A = this chain, B = another copy of it.
Amino acid sequence: MAASTLTEVARLAGVSPATASRVLNGSARKPGKDIAERVRQAADSLGYIPNAQAQGLAKSSSGLIGLIVHDIADPYFAAIARGVQEAAREQRKMVLLATTGGGPAEEKEAVAAFAARRADSIVIAGSRSCRDEDRDGNTELAAELDRYCRNGGQVAVVGHPVVGATATEGYHVVKVPNQELARQLASGLAEGWDGDFVVVGGPEGLLTSDDRVRGFQEGLERAGRRPAEVLRTGFNRSGGYDAGLQLAARIKAARSGEAPAPRLCIFAVNDVMAIGAAAALRSEGLRIPRDAAIAGFDDIETLRDFRPALSTVRLPLEDIGRIATRSTGPGNHTEEAQGAAADGITGEVTLRRSTEAAA
């Protein structure tokens, strides 16, 4: 990597590196017109590209935003990533990507790596977990984040604060009203459904999943329905599929029984799981919503063309990414910025065909 350097440009233009720096890489002081022109020409003719590492070192700031996701190929994260990317562009920064699979240990490593690169800010998009086996990992992650913040870094977390993090300066949480929205979803569903409800949740301790489960139960209770049974499974399509198989067996069994059991309404705590469950039911010859209703959460864009259209809760994922990123950026003390992050995000219950009562 032997690109031309500022010094070379300066020499060619017959000025000092200081002057060249001032004209090329934005400084408060603007050198005289003619000199500036000479420098610019020299830079052009050499194809000069400033060395961002050196700049970063000198200015101690890197123009980098670190983004942590579980899996970039998951459309949920991909959508958030798009928002982050956009906000990064507004701030004229670049996005560093880390995918962790969701473990706090990997997340801690990612944070350390970002810190090493002196990323100006970090956005953490994956769900927090408070499972026992993650406790140590969480502690370490929290410590790493605290240190990062203490050194002046900005952190935004989507959904829940990192368990155990104590930093206040530069630590932002973008709240997502999962519980509230799940409650609304349950109300909405309860209105048009008299059968039983089953929840297909992620592993216990996954905060996002837990919130949604809890909210859903609350909603049912308020509607005067009995609480739903909760199946725990993986927080992804294949988890949904497994649960779906299980439920399919149950539905078939019930069907062959004496009393025609009322239909089941399945709430999978995210869209991808819901699609998995739907696929499983279908593979067992069941039809939606005829034999069972199903609802998800997130309203993933790519899945909107799925048929029967999936009832779900629309979450403005791109906005979430954007808002999280903005909250870490310069000017994050303005009213709007504060407001946007504090008010959190609003979603919208969206009932579609997959939960229609009339089959």
Residues of A bordering B, CB below 8 Å: 1-3, 47, 49-54, 56-57, 60-62, 67, 71-75, 78-79, 81-82, 85, 94-99, 112-113, 115-118, 147, 151-153, 237, 272, 275-276, 278-279, 282, 300-303, 305-307, 318
Contacts of A75 in B (CB 8 A): 73, 75, 78, 302
**Min CB–CB distance A285 → chain B (angstroms):** 13
CA distance A112 to B51 in the complex (A): 11
Contact A73 B62 (CB under 8 A): no
Contact A305 B278 (CB under 8 A): yes
CA distance A72 to B56 in the complex (A): 26
Contact B279 A305 (CB under 8 A): yes
**Min CB–CB distance A78 → chain B (angstroms):** 4
| Residue of A2, A56, A71 with highest tally of chain B CB at under 10 A | A56
Contact B97 A94 (CB under 8 A): yes
**Min CB–CB distance A311 → chain B (angstroms):** 16
**Min CB–CB distance A211 → chain B (angstroms):** 24
Contacts of A300 in B (CB 8 A): 302
Contacts of A52 in B (CB 8 A): 113, 116-118
**Min CB–CB distance A106 → chain B (angstroms):** 10
CA distance A326 to B1 in the complex (A): 19
A/B interface sample: 13 pairs, CB < 8 A: A1-B60, A1-B151, A2-B151, A50-B116, A53-B118, A67-B97, A73-B75, A73-B318, A74-B78, A85-B97, A85-B99, A278-B305, A300-B302
Contact B96 A95 (CB under 8 A): yes
User: Assuming A1-B61, A1-B152, is B85 touching A78 (CB within 8 A)?
Assistant: no
Contacts of A73 in B (CB 8 A): 75, 78-79, 81-82, 301, 318
**Min CB–CB distance A276 → chain B (angstroms):** 7
Contacts of A275 in B (CB 8 A): 305
Contact A305 B276 (CB under 8 A): yes
CA distance A115 to B1 in the complex (A): 9
CA distance A67 to B85 in the complex (A): 13
| Residue of A52, A54, A67, A147 with highest tally of chain B CB at under 10 A | A52
10 nearest interchain CB pairs?
A73-B82, A78-B78, A52-B116, A53-B56, A52-B117, A95-B97, A279-B305, A73-B78, A53-B53, A1-B152
CA distance A253 to B64 in the complex (A): 55
Contacts of A115 in B (CB 8 A): 3, 49
Contact B112 A49 (CB under 8 A): yes
Q: Which of B3, B60, B276, B305 contacts A151 (CB 8 A)?
A: B3
Contact B96 A97 (CB under 8 A): yes
Contacts of A117 in B (CB 8 A): 52-53, 94
**Min CB–CB distance A298 → chain B (angstroms):** 12
Contact B49 A116 (CB under 8 A): yes
CA distance A97 to B54 in the complex (A): 20
Contact B99 A97 (CB under 8 A): no
Contact A152 B53 (CB under 8 A): no
**Min CB–CB distance A245 → chain B (angstroms):** 14
**Min CB–CB distance A1 → chain B (angstroms):** 5
Chain B's closest residue to A79 (CB) is B73
Chain B's closest residue to A241 (CB) is B305
**Min CB–CB distance A347 → chain B (angstroms):** 18
**Min CB–CB distance A352 → chain B (angstroms):** 13
Contact B116 A51 (CB under 8 A): yes
